[in-house]
Structure 1
Amino acid sequence: MARNRKKAVRVDYSIIFLMMLLCVIGLVAIYVAGLVNDQYTNNFLLQQSIWIVISTGVVVVIVLFFDYDKLQWAAYYLYGIGNLLLVLVLIVGDERKGSKSWISIGSLGSLQPSELMKSFLILALAKVIWDHNKKYKLHTVNLDMQLLLKIGIVSILPLGLVALQPDLGTILVFIAIIVGMVFISGVTWKILLPVFSSIALIGGTLIYLVMYNQAFLQKLGFKPYQFKRITSWLRPEEDPLGDGMQLLRSMQAIGSGQLQGNGIGNQAIAIPENHNDFIFSIIGGNFGFIGGCVLIMLYFLLIYQIIRVALDINIPFYSYICTGVCSMILFHVLENIGMTIGLLPITGIPLLFVSYGGSSLLGAFMALGLVLSARYNAPEVNLGKGNRFM
C-alpha cells in the first residue's frame, strides 16, 4: 500500500490535465467545424473520441510497463518497427493529395506511421546520445563529430523514407526533433554554430531564388510546381481561387473573430480541411483572439511542465526524451498556427491534440506517455517537487 501511494504521488496530474483539456478543446472545435462546413459527412467527433480512448490506453501501458531499463531496451526495437511501417506504407499505403502516407485500418479510418515514428525517433536518439555521453565523459571536437555522425545515421533512414512518400511537414518535424536533441547533447558550439549558420544561409538563399530567380533553380533540376508552396505563402493574393485560396480564407476567418469571436457555429467563411490542419481558423473565428491566446497559453504550460519533469528528475536519458518531446510540440504549434495566419508556409502539420486525426493523436499521446513514464518510474532519490503548476 505504501508503495502504491508513492507511485500515485509520481503521477504528473498537471500534464494529464493539460493534455485532456487540449483534447476537449479539440472535440469542441471539430464539432464546430462540422457546423460551418458541409464538405464531409463523416462523424469526425465520434472517431476522434474513439482515438482519444485508444491513445489513453497506450499511455497507461507505457507508464506502467516501460520503466527506465525497458525503454532503453526497447528503443532500437521500436525504431526498427517504425521504419518497417514506413516501408510498408510505401508498398500498400493509400495515396492522398500526392502523398502515400496512410495505411487503411477499416472503420477506425487510417494510420499514418510517420506520426508514430516521431516518438520512436525521440527514443532512439535519446539512447544514442546517452550511450555516447556515458562512454565518453569529456567533450572534444572529434568526439562530438562522432556523436553527430551517430545521430545522422539514426536519423537518415526515417527522413529518407518519409521523403519518398513525400511528406515535407513530417520531415520538418523530424528535423526540429533532431535539432533540439543535438542542442542538449553537449555538442560544442564550435561545431553547431557554423553548421546551423550554413543551413540558415542555404534556406534563406533558396527562398530568395524561388521568389526572384526561379529560372536558375530550374536549371538545377527543380520543377515549377515545386515553387508554388512558397509563392502561395508569400503572395497568396496572386492566386485567390487556386493555391492562395486556403491561406486567404484562413486569415479572413481568424480576422473575422476579432477579440471575442463570432460564437459557436456563426463563422460564415468555409475553409477546406477546417477540422484538420486548419482547426486554428475555427478557434480564431468562433472564439476570437482571446480563445486563440488561451489555447497557445495551454501549449506553453504543457511545455513548461515537461521541462519541469526533466529538471526535477535530472536523469540524462529522460532529459533527452523530454527535450525531443518539447521540440516536437513546439514546432507543431508554431508551424500550424503560423501557417494559418500567413507567417509560415503551409505544410500540412496538425495542431497536436486539437486537430482531427487518430494518428497524430496517438503519436502525441505516445510522446507524452514517455514523459509521464519518466516521472512515474524515476528512482525516488531523483524526484524533485513535482505535480505543481508553479
Structure 2
Amino acid sequence: MNSQNKISARIDYGIVLSLMLLCVISMISIYSAQLTNEQYNANFVMKQAVWFVVSGFAIFVIMQLDYERLTKWAYYFYGAGLLMLVFVLFFGKEVNGAKSWIIIPFLGSLQPSEVVKVILIIVLAKVIWDHNRKYKLHTVKLDFLLLVKIGIITIIPIGLIMLQPDLGTGLVFIAIMSGMILVSGITWKLIVPIYGSIIAIGGTLLYLVLYHESWLVKLGFKSYQFERIHTWINPESDPQGGGYQVLRAMTAIGSGQIGGNGAGYNAIAIPENHNDFIFTVIGGDFGFVGASILLAIYFLLIYQIIRVALDIGIPFYSYICTGVVMMIMFHVFENVGMNIGLLPITGIPLPFISYGGSALLGNMMAIGLVLGIRYNYQKSMFTVKEEKLAE
C-alpha cells in the first residue's frame, strides 16, 4: 500500500503537537487561576477537560469533510449558522448583559457565534473560489462584485451578533473577512482606498473621542459610550472603575518578571482570570519566559497552517487556511493586547488556553478544517482535476 494512502501519513503531526502543548498549558493555567481566585467554586479544570474531549471528537468529524462535501454543503452550513444566531436572540441565556448562549444538556452553555466563525470561513472560501473560477479575468468591476458578495455574506451574521450584543465576536468576523479579501485576488485599486478610508475614519473617531467629545455628543452619541476608550488610554483616571481590570492585569503580569512566581502563587487576584484574563496567570506564574514560549507556540501553529496552504496548492483550501490564521491571530493579538494595556478590553478569549467550551470548540473545529485539508489531499486533488476538465 502506498504510504500516502495510510491514515498515519495523512495526519499533520506538527499541528497535533502544537495543539497538545496548548492544551497542557491551558489545564495548568486554569488550575493555577483557581488557586489564586476565589471568585468561583466550580472545578473549571474538569469542565475544560470535558470540552477538550468533545472538541477532539469535533476535530475527527470535521476532518471527514473533504473538498467535495465542503463546497457542496457550504451554504447549508451558512443557513444553519444563521438559524442558530436567530434562535439565540429569542431563546438564549443572558450572561453579562449579552444574550449569546444556549443551554446544552450535560455540557452546559454554548455560544453559537463561536461555531459560526468557522462556518463563515467555509462559506467565504466557497464564494471566493466560485467567483474566481467563473471570472478568469480580474477587472475592477468584477472585483467590486466579489467584494460586495463577501460583504453581504459577512454583514448578516455580524448584524445578528451585534443584536446580542457582542462587539468582540463581531470584530473577529471582520478580521476573518479582511484577511480573506487580501488573498482573494481583488485588485489593490479597491483594497487600498477602502482599507485606507476605514483606517482614516477610525483614527478620526478616536481623535474626536479624546479631544472633541462634545462634537460627538451633539451628533447623538452618549458620553458613557466613550468610557472604555478613555480607560484604555488612561486607566489611572478611573482605577476603581473602568481602569481597574487592566491595571490589575498589568500588575499581575509585571509581578512575574523574567522567570515567574511559580504555578499557583497567590500574587494578584483578578476577576475572570481563568477566562479572558488567563494571560495574566501565565505572565505572573511563568514570567516573560513562559509568556514568550506560549507566543512562540502560536507562531509555530500559524506557520504550520500556512505551510499546509502552500503545500496543497488548491486555492479553496488556501482561503480556508487564511481565514483560520486570521481568526487565531486576531484572538491572540487582541487578548494579549488588552491584558498588557495595548488595546481596549473586549470579551475575546485566548485561543485554546482560556476556559470556555464554546471558544475551544470553535477553535478546534477550525483546526479540524486544516487537518482535514492534509488528510483529504489526494481525494481533493482528484475532484479538482475533474472539475477543471468539466469546465
TM range (shorter): over 0.9
AA aligned to 2:265 is: N
Read off the aligned partner of 2:352 and give its amino acid letter.
F
**Residue aligning to 2:374:** 375
Does the CA-based 8 Å contact 1:115-1:360 persist in structure 2? yes
Gaps of 5+ in 1: 384-390
Give, as a single letter, the amino acid of the residue that structure 2 aligns with 1:145: F
1:5 shift after superposition: 4.8
**Counterpart residue number, 2:262:** 263
Which SS does the other structure have where 1:45 is aligned? helix
Q: 2:119 maps to what in 1?
A: 120
In structure 2, the residue matched to 1:386 is none
| Contact 1:312–1:382 (Cα < 8 Å) also in 2 | no
Does the 8 A contact of 1:267 with 1:286 survive in 2?
Answer: no
Indicate how the Cα distance of structure 1 residues 380 and 101 shifts in structure 2: closer, same or farther if over 3 A, else same: closer
Distance in 2 separating the partners of 1:52 and 1:22 = 11
Work out whether 1:349 is the aligned partner of 2:345: no
CA distance in 2, matches of 1:319, 1:352: 21
Structure 1 position 10, deviation (Å): 1.5
Partner residue in 1 for 2:163:
164
Q: Which residue of 2 aligns with 1:253?
A: 252
Q: 2:309·2:318 contact (CA, 8 Å) conserved in 1?
A: yes
**Distance (whole Å) between structure 2 residues aligned to residue 67 and residue 73 of structure 1:** 10
In structure 1, how many angstroms separate the alpha carbons of the residues matched to 2:61 and 2:95? 32
- Report which stretch shifted further, 117-126 or 106-115: 106-115
* Alignment correspondent of 1:67: 66
The letter of the residue matching 2:202 is: G
Deviation at 1:375, TM superposition (A): 0.6
The number of residue pairs the alignment matches comes to 382
1:334 to partner: Cα distance: 0.4
SS at match of 1:104: strand
Please state if 1:39 is matched with 2:39: yes
Letter in structure 2 aligned against 1:183: L
Question: Offset at 1:6?
Answer: 3.1
Aligned position for 2:28: 28
Shift in Å at residue 208 of structure 1? Answer: 1.1
CA distance in 2, matches of 1:225, 1:204: 20
For the residue of structure 1 that corresponds to 2:164, the secondary structure is: coil
Q: In the aligned structure 2, how far is the partner of 1:125 from the partner of 1:4? A: 30
What is the identity, as a one-letter code, of the residue corresponding to 1:53? V
Pairing 1:89–2:100 present: no
Following superposition of structure 1 onto structure 2, how do residues 153-302 of structure 1 map, counting pairs within 5 Å? 153-302=152-301
Query: Which amino acid in structure 1 is aligned with residue 23 of structure 2?
Result: C
Measured in 1, the distance between the counterparts of 2:66 and 2:272 equals 39
Deviates more, 1:14-23 or 1:360-369: 14-23
Aligned partners of 1:28, 1:5: CA distance in 2, in Å?
37
SS in 2 for 1:8: helix
1:3 CA drift (Å): 7.0
Equivalent-residue separation in structure 1 for 2:121 and 2:220 (angstroms): 33
State the superposition RMSD in angstroms: 1.4
Partner in structure 2 of residue 304 of structure 1: 303
Deviations along 1:175-213, whole A, 9 cap, x unmatched?
100000000000000000000000000111111111112
CA deviations over 1:207-245 (Å, ceiling 9, x no partner): 111111211112222222211111111111011111100
Measured in 1, the distance between the counterparts of 2:239 and 2:54 equals 40
| Distance of 2:106 and 2:223 partners within structure 1 | 39
Distance 2:301 2:50 in 1: 23
Cα offset, 1:268, TM superposition: 1.7
CA distance in 2 between counterparts of 1:121 and 1:222 reads: 31
Offset of residue 337 of structure 1: 0.2
Report the CA distance between 1:381 and its aligned residue.
9.5
Residues 299-308 or 159-168, more deviating: 159-168
Amino acid at match of 1:204: G
The one-letter code of the counterpart of 1:345 is P
Q: Normalization by structure 1: what TM-score?
A: 0.96
How far apart are residue 348 of structure 1 and its match?
1.0
Q: How does 1:140-151 map to 2 (within 5 A)?
A: 140-151=139-150
Q: SS of the residue aligned with 1:379?
A: helix
Which residue of structure 2 aligns with residue 388 of structure 1?
A: none
Contact 2:255–2:267 under 8 Å retained in 1: no
Identify which range, 226-235 or 333-342, moves more after superposition.
226-235
Shift in Å at residue 14 of structure 1? 0.6
Cα distance per residue 1:33-89 (max 9 Å; x no partner):
0000000011110110000000100111111x2111001112111111111111111
Q: CA deviation at 1:302?
A: 0.2
C-alpha contact 1:267 1:285 (8 A) present in aligned 2: no
1:24 to partner: Cα distance? 1.1
Matches within 5 A, 1:45-56: 45-56=45-56
Task: Measure the CA separation in 2 of the matches of 1:359 and 1:104.
Answer: 11
Post-superposition offset of 1:267: 3.5
Q: Which residue of 1 aligns with 2:320?
A: 321
Identity, % of aligned positions: 62
What residue identity is the alignment partner of 2:6? K
Q: What is the CA-CA distance between 1:162 and the residue it aligns to?
A: 0.6
Matched residue of 2:38: which SS? coil
Code of the residue aligned with 1:151 in structure 2: it is I
CA distance in 1, matches of 2:2, 2:195: 50
User: Which residue of the partner structure matches residue 105 of structure 1?
Assistant: 104
8 Å Cα contact 1:130-1:317 kept in structure 2: yes
2:386 corresponds to: none
Deviation at 1:106, TM superposition (A): 3.8
* Secondary structure in structure 2 of the residue aligned to 1:221: coil
